[in-house]
């Protein structure tokens, strides 16, 4: 057999969607502005409710000036250690060819093993599932907390807070199908105005009460936890609200690159967040904690309150949009890595391949968010449900990062161990604090995460068992090729491409075609599509061709897990090798398996897992649409498989 590699344009990848190291230096200011809107939208809305919830975790927990300063100190050092140190300095360096996120980090960690252990994949599943749990809460608590500000402007509007929130959320999810490429242009500028407003409103009160800056002393944070040991977990659960959204620094790494994200954090986001939190603390110290309900809104001058509520609502809409888009991207990665069944992916932009819309994901998120808003009714009640999923994602990220530090970066084991222990204490403390709220609402993201993890694990286990079962029934491809070369059936003009995931066995569609039609095409291609552990595959590694004989050849197309798998475009690259590929004279043969569950097994877990896998397979989107194959060129041959 001869083997060659194609060269040419990467299938399904647009120049505007390149990895971070390919960004034009001239676009650096625009990348910083874009990062403000997408990366920091979530954490930028935390001041609306984080300090308020920390004050109100228990009556009397913030009754003295020293307690107020202690709470502020906890927020300051949580932001510093978790976001500035862990994520900005370390996690963002663990890029997978420019891409970030839990699944990207999992793929990077798996690369360091010849045979990746199961627990690496399990961590990726848990992290991705918890992100889904977080995704249904962020839009609900963000928009709800902003709209609640109208109660200060017009107390009679209180009963309209939930209906207004529901209308806004419905609008946010409804416009997803049209894409956000155009409106996202204003995300960065609006978020920049938001952060500057946060910083200025806080600075005004710091000038009036500069003693609040004593909260910079970490001793005050430690003293508070020691003297309030009986409620330390509850307090830390509220403090954690200030760092929710930190994971976005890593998830959106590929869109903007590390440098713009780092510069945006230290030049604007971090200073403005600190100024606002200190400003809220100064306001509370100045007027007295007993006179404050929501310091974020109440510290604004009366004339500015209404526009401030409007700006806060815009900021929360942007934060929600970023989370929704991030969920689409995560689901697309999971599908490419065979961790979820194929779902419909619609590209909403002709110039940006990262702009996608997934109707099934959008509908599930919308239903979840609406149910949460109606069920909890206030951002204060929802804060109890917030945190478990986010803190869980942070622990998973830390575990995978330690593997990368040790095996990929080749750090000394003692250094890796020291780093892991320090941040395991911090992240573990946050997770334990949020787990304490399990029965106050924390069960919501936990149940969502458990459901998603069950689906992902059942899908992967089902695929593995199905592959083993079909492999036992298949004929070795080499054996079939040798026999057909000796005794050729009737040949018909054109090219037949048979899709199969098994590189060794003969495709089921080929066997059934020979059995029923008794003919063979002049050119027969056994096509296998693979997904790389890298986000994108270089041009010269995308397609390989192996010629068996004049009748048969094998083509392996490898896409990165961030790429859109467009088979016709990838196969067109073969023309550079002399392969006369013409889509109009080519037929694609696909095997459509109808899965049936066998008799009830004594292993109930296996039985229900098989049933779930069969249902997921039936509801998966069509391979023809997923791989962008022209429907008029497809022949599907059905087979029935008993699980």
C-alpha of 437 from chain center: 24
Q: Domain boundary residue among 404, 425, 460?
A: 460
Residues 547 and 420 in one domain: no
Residues 130 and 181 in one domain: yes
Contact indicator for 588, 525 with CB cutoff of 8 Å: no
Residues 379 and 502 in one domain: no
Reduced to 3 states (helix: H, G, I; strand: E, B; else coil), residue 591 is strand
Q: Which domain holds residue 501?
A: 2-8+475-642
Tell me whether residue 623 is in a domain. yes
Q: Domain boundary residue among 432, 460, 488?
A: 460
Domain with 137 in it: what CATH number? 1.20.1740.10
% of residues, the chain, pLDDT over 90? 41
Residue range 433-459, pLDDT digits in tens: 998 888 888 899 999 999 999 999 999
Residue-wise DSSP of 108-140: HHHHT-SS--HHHHHHHHHHHHHHHHHHTTHHH
Residue range 1-28, pLDDT digits in tens: 434 333 332 223 232 333 334 456 667 8
Residue-wise DSSP of 132-186: HHHHTTHHHHHHHHHHTTHHHH-GGGGGGHHHHHHHHHHHHHHGGGG-STTGGGG
Tell me whether residue 417 is in a domain. yes
Residue 69: the pLDDT is 93
Q: Domain boundary residue among 410, 430, 460?
A: 460
Among 212-221, 251-260, 305-314, 601-610, which is the least confidently predicted range?
A: 601-610
Residues 400 and 505 in one domain: no
Residues 135 and 243 in one domain: yes
Average model confidence (pLDDT) for the chain?
85
Residues 499 and 608 in one domain: yes
Residues 454 and 513 in one domain: no
Among 85-94, 172-181, 274-283, 395-404, which is the least confidently predicted range?
A: 172-181
Residue range 53-104, pLDDT digits in tens: 888 875 555 568 888 999 999 999 999 999 999 999 999 999 888 888 899 9
Residue 601: the pLDDT is 66
Per-residue exposure over 226-265, b if at least 16 CB sit within 10 Å of its own CB, e if not: eebeebbbbbbbbbbbbbbbbbbbbbbbbbbbbbbbbbbb
Residues 586 and 525 in one domain: yes
Cross-strand pairs, 595: 641
Residue range 271-294, pLDDT digits in tens: 999 999 999 999 999 988 778 888
Residues 420 and 548 in one domain: no
Tell me whether residue 27 is in a domain. no
pLDDT of residue 573 exceeding 80: no
Tell me whether residue 490 is in a domain. yes
- Averaged over 358-367, what is the pLDDT? 93
Residues 412 and 512 in one domain: no
Residues 427 and 334 in one domain: yes
Q: Whole-prediction pTM value? A: 0.83
pLDDT of residue 538 exceeding 90: no
Residues 279 and 423 in one domain: yes
Q: CB neighbours (10 Å) of residue 123?
A: 21
* Count of the separate structural domains present in the chain: 2
Contact indicator for 140, 382 with CB cutoff of 8 Å: yes
In 410-524, where does DSSP find H-type helix?
A: 413-435, 443-473, 477-486, 508-517
pLDDT of residue 602 exceeding 80: no
Q: CB-hemisphere CA count at 13 Å for 493?
A: 3
- Averaged over 491-519, what is the pLDDT? 84
Tell me whether residue 557 is in a domain. yes
Which residue has better confidence, 470 or 402? 402
């Amino acid at each position: 057999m001869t083997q060659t590699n194609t060269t040419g344009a990467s299938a399904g990848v647009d120049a505007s969607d390149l990895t971070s190291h390919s960004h034009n230096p001239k676009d650096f200011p625009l990348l910083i502005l874009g990062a403000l809107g997408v990366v920091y939208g979530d954490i930028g809305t935390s001041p609306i409710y984080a300090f308020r919830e920390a004050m109100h975790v228990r009556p009397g927990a913030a009754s003295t000036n020293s307690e107020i300063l202690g709470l502020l100190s906890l927020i300051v050092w949580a932001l510093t250690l978790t976001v500035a140190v862990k994520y900005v300095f370390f996690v963002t360096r663990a890029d997978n060819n420019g891409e970030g996120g839990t699944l990207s980090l999992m793929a990077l960690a798996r690369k360091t093993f010849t045979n990746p252990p199961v627990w690496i994949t399990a961590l990726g599943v848990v992290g991705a599932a918890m992100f889904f749990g977080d995704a249904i809460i962020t839009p609900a608590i963000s928009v709800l907390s902003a709209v609640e500000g109208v109660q200060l402007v017009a107390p009679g509007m209180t009963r309209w807070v939930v209906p207004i929130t529901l209308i806004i959320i419905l609008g946010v999810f409804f416009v997803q199908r049209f894409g956000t490429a155009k409106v996202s242009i204003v995300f960065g500028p609006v978020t920049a105005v938001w952060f500057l407003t946060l910083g200025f409103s806080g600075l005004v009160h710091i000038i009036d009460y500069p003693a609040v800056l004593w909260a910079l002393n970490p001793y005050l944070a430690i003293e508070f936890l020691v003297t309030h040991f009986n409620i330390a977990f509850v307090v830390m659960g509220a403090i954690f609200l200030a760092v929710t959204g930190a994971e976005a620094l890593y998830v959106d790494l590929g869109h903007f690159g590390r440098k713009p994200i780092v510069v945006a954090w230290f030049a604007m986001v971090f200073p403005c967040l600190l100024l606002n939190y200190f400003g809220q603390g100064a306001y509370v110290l100045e007027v007295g904690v007993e006179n404050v309900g929501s310091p974020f809104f109440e510290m604004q001058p009366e004339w500015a309150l209404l526009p401030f509520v409007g700006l806060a609502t815009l900021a929360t809409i942007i934060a929600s949009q970023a989370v929704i888009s991030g969920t689409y991207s995560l689901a697309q990665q999971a599908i490419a890595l065979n961790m979820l069944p194929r779902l419909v992916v619609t590209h909403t932009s002709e110039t940006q391949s990262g702009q996608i819309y997934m109707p099934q994901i959008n509908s599930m998120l919308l239903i979840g968010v609406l149910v949460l808003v109606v069920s909890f009714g206030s951002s204060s009640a929802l804060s109890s449900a917030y945190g478990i999923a986010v803190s869980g994602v942070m622990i998973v990220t830390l575990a995978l990062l330690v593997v990368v530090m040790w095996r990929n970066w080749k750090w000394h084991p003692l250094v890796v161990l020291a780093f892991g222990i320090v941040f395991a204490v911090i992240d573990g403390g946050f997770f334990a604090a949020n787990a304490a709220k399990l029965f106050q609402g924390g069960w919501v993201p936990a149940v969502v995460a458990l459901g998603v993890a069950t689906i992902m694990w059942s899908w992967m286990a089902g695929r593995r068992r199905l592959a083993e079962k079909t492999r036992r029934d298949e004929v070795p491809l080499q054996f079939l090729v040798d026999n057909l070369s000796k005794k050729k059936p009737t040949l018909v003009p054109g090219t037949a491409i048979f899709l199969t995931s098994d590189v060794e066995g003969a495709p089921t569609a080929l066997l059934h075609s020979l059995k029923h039609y008794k003919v063979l095409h002049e050119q027969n291609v056994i096509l296998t599509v693979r997904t790389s552990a890298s986000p994108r595959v270089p041009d010269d590694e995308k397609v390989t061709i192996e010629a068996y004989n004049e009748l048969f050849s094998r083509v392996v197309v490898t896409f990165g897990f961030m790429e859109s798998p467009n088979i016709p475009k990838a196969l067109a690259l073969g023309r550079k090798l002399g392969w006369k590929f013409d889509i109009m004279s080519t037929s694609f043969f696909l095997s459509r398996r109808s899965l049936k569950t066998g008799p009830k097994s004594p292993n109930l877990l296996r039985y229900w897992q098989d049933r779930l896998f069969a249902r997921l397979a039936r509801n998966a989107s069509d391979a023809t649409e997923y791989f962008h194959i022209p429907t008029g060129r497809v022949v599907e041959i059905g087979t029935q498989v008993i699980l």
